[in-house]
Amino acid sequence: MQVIENSKIQEKIYTEKLENGLKVIIIPKKTQKKYIIWGIKYGSIDHKFMVDDREITVPDGIAHYMEHKLFEQENGTNSLDVLSSMGVDANAYTTNNHTAYLFEDNNGKFSEALDEFMNYVQNPYFTDENVEKERGIIEQEIMMYDDYPDWKVYMNAIKAMYHNNPINIDVAGTKETIAQITKDKLYDAYHAFYRPDNMAIVVCGDFQPQEIISEIEKRMSLQNANQNVKRIYEEEPKEIVKDRSEAEMNISMPIFTLGYKDEIACENQIKKDLALDIIFNILIGDSSELYQSLYEQGLLQTEPTFIYENSETYSHILIQGQSEKYDEVIQKIEDKIEELKQNGIENEVFERIKKKLYGEYVKSYNDVGGIATTFIQNYFRNINPLDYFEEFKGLDKEYIMQILNQAFAKDKKVISVVKSK
């Protein structure tokens, strides 16, 4: 067992790779809450892949469809209902690059819940009947997201950036694509990606590391299939698709997204994550001059949201907010970016934001669910979250300016707006 310790925040992380290749990460915390999350490196972008010499293309939305179907068991029960009846808070989600199943226990039912949890993830039960039954449920979810303005403005920004990368496909797919999902296609995708060497489990709470590893091992039945799986992604041009996208919805306040298509390659991803976080806070965080000015003028009522997403195949930055005068706000943000590029960043501002963010990172380790989710997401980025604290030391203004100039390029800019009808 490997032990990773950070004395600055007094955290100790234990990791173990089981014989079948599953990575287990334990984060001990003296708290009543116990949290577990099981992540699979399989998301909406993985719709084309090779299994040995056979090329397989599955319908868009199948990773999300499978997340729903895994709860249904051969004995007629639904594992989500079973876990809820125990009093544990269970859930699952699908993203562009991974799927995760999780539960939180507050009442001493962790061991009992773990039986059900590990059973349903490892034992898919897909039939023609239950796959068909789910179709209407997923269709309703797709329609719900179509009516969700925050999702619409996000997806329109992504589609304005990417030509071929499947990140421009809705995670849930479309009514047309999910109509093509069958039990055989679900089993193809399951056997290709639901492999121990393509998974990780993170547990956070009052655990003895060796004990919880033993509990996971004795419930583990999945083995790696003797096959070679390779994901297939089309080549993505560096250029954006278009610089603006507009839509209309029945909303009280227009929503905007200012986005930048970014370079994928990065020497130090953790350092870049921190640099972009600092840039956003300096640019239009709640304590920035620009936000305060826009707020006083009534142009912004709440702090915009900052999103930075990256993987081996995509990377982008999004700033999303609400304003009646969205074009004026967007222009002021762009002007501020150019001002910072020209004039640099003041020492006092840089140091203040750096200290603020460091404090927020430390504080985030008080939330067992947040910690576990952070570790599973970063595991699939080959990042140890404890390393962020070390990288804070090496952050300087010169590096921040380098990222500012590189990541906020005018020719990679897109604007997405959802207006009021």
Domain limit, last residue, from 180, 197, 231: 231
Residue 8, pLDDT above cutoff 80:
no
Query: Are residues 86 and 127 both part of a single domain?
Result: yes
Query: Are residues 169 and 91 both part of a single domain?
Result: yes
Please tell me the predicted confidence (pLDDT) of residue 11: 87
Residue 43, pLDDT above cutoff 80:
yes
CA 304 – CA 230 distance, rounded (Å): 38
Query: Are residues 28 and 71 both part of a single domain?
Result: yes
Nearest residue to 253 (alpha-carbon basis) of 301, 305, 321, 323:
323
Question: Would you say 279 and 404 are in contact if contact means Cβ atoms under 8 Å apart?
Answer: yes
Query: In this predicted model, what pLDDT tens digit does every residue of 258-298 receive, in sequence order?
Result: 999 999 988 899 999 999 999 999 999 999 999 999 999 99
Please tell me the predicted confidence (pLDDT) of residue 394: 86
| Most distant pair of Cα atoms in the chain: their distance | 67
236 found inside a domain? no
Query: Are residues 274 and 370 both part of a single domain?
Result: yes
405 found inside a domain? yes
Average pLDDT, rounded, for the chain: 95
Residue 333: domain span: 244-420
Comparing 366 with 185, the larger pLDDT belongs to 185
360 found inside a domain? yes
Query: Are residues 206 and 277 both part of a single domain?
Result: no
238 found inside a domain? no
Q: Treating both helix axes as pointing N-terminal to C-terminal, what angle do 128-146 and 62-69 enclose, rounded to 10 degrees?
A: 120
**Out of 261-265, 321-325, 332-336, least confident range:** 261-265
Query: Are residues 395 and 304 both part of a single domain?
Result: yes
Query: Are residues 266 and 206 both part of a single domain?
Result: no
Query: Are residues 123 and 85 both part of a single domain?
Result: yes
114 found inside a domain? yes
Query: In this predicted model, what pLDDT tens digit does every residue of 112-164 receive, in sequence order?
Result: 999 999 999 999 999 999 999 999 999 999 998 888 999 999 999 999 999 99
Query: Are residues 94 and 181 both part of a single domain?
Result: yes
Q: What is the 3-state secondary structure (H, E, C) of the chain?
A: CEEEEECCCCEEEEEEECCCCCEEEEEECCCCCEEEEEEECCCCCCCEEEECCEEEECCCCHHHHHHHHCCECCCCCEHHHHHHHCCCEEEEEECCCCEEEEEEECCCCHHHHHHHHHHHHHCCCCCHHHHHHHHHHHHHHHHHHHCCHHHHHHHHHHHHHCCCCHHHCCCCCCHHHHCCCCHHHHHHHHHHHCCHHHEEEEEEECCCHHHHHHHHHHCCCCCCCCCCEEECCCCCCCCCCCCEEEEEECCCCCEEEEEEECCCCCCCHHHHHHHHHHHHHHHHCCCCHHHHHHHHCCCCCCCCEEEEEECCCCEEEEEEEECCCHHHHHHHHHHHHHHHHHHCCCHHHHHHHHHHHHHHHHHHHHCHHHHHHHHHHHHCCCCCCCHHHHHHHHCCHHHHHHHHHHHCCHHHEEEEEEEEC
237 found inside a domain? no
Residue at token pair 């997923």: 138
Amino acid at 242: K
Facing residues of 176 across strands?
Answer: none
239 found inside a domain? no
Query: In this predicted model, what pLDDT tens digit does every residue of 374-398 receive, in sequence order?
Result: 999 999 999 999 999 989 888 999 9
Q: Treating both helix axes as pointing N-terminal to C-terminal, what angle do 347-363 and 387-394 enclose, rounded to 10 degrees?
A: 170
CA 269 – CA 233 distance, rounded (Å): 22
What sign does the dihedral 289-290-295-296 (CA atoms) show?
Answer: positive
Residue 339, pLDDT above cutoff 80:
yes
How many domains are there within the chain? 2
Q: If phi over 0 gives left and psi between -120 and 50 gives alpha, with beta otherwise, what is residue 387?
A: alpha
55 found inside a domain? yes
Residue 175, pLDDT above cutoff 90:
yes
Query: Are residues 111 and 180 both part of a single domain?
Result: yes
Question: What is the per-residue burial (b if ≥16 Cβ within 10 Å, else e) of 33-69?
Answer: bbbbbbbbbbbbbbbebeeeeeeeebbbbbbbbbbbb
Please tell me the predicted confidence (pLDDT) of residue 328: 97
Query: Are residues 12 and 128 both part of a single domain?
Result: yes
Structure tokens at 161: 């950036």
Residue 101, pLDDT above cutoff 80:
yes
Query: Are residues 127 and 89 both part of a single domain?
Result: yes
Residue 272's CATH number: 3.30.830.10
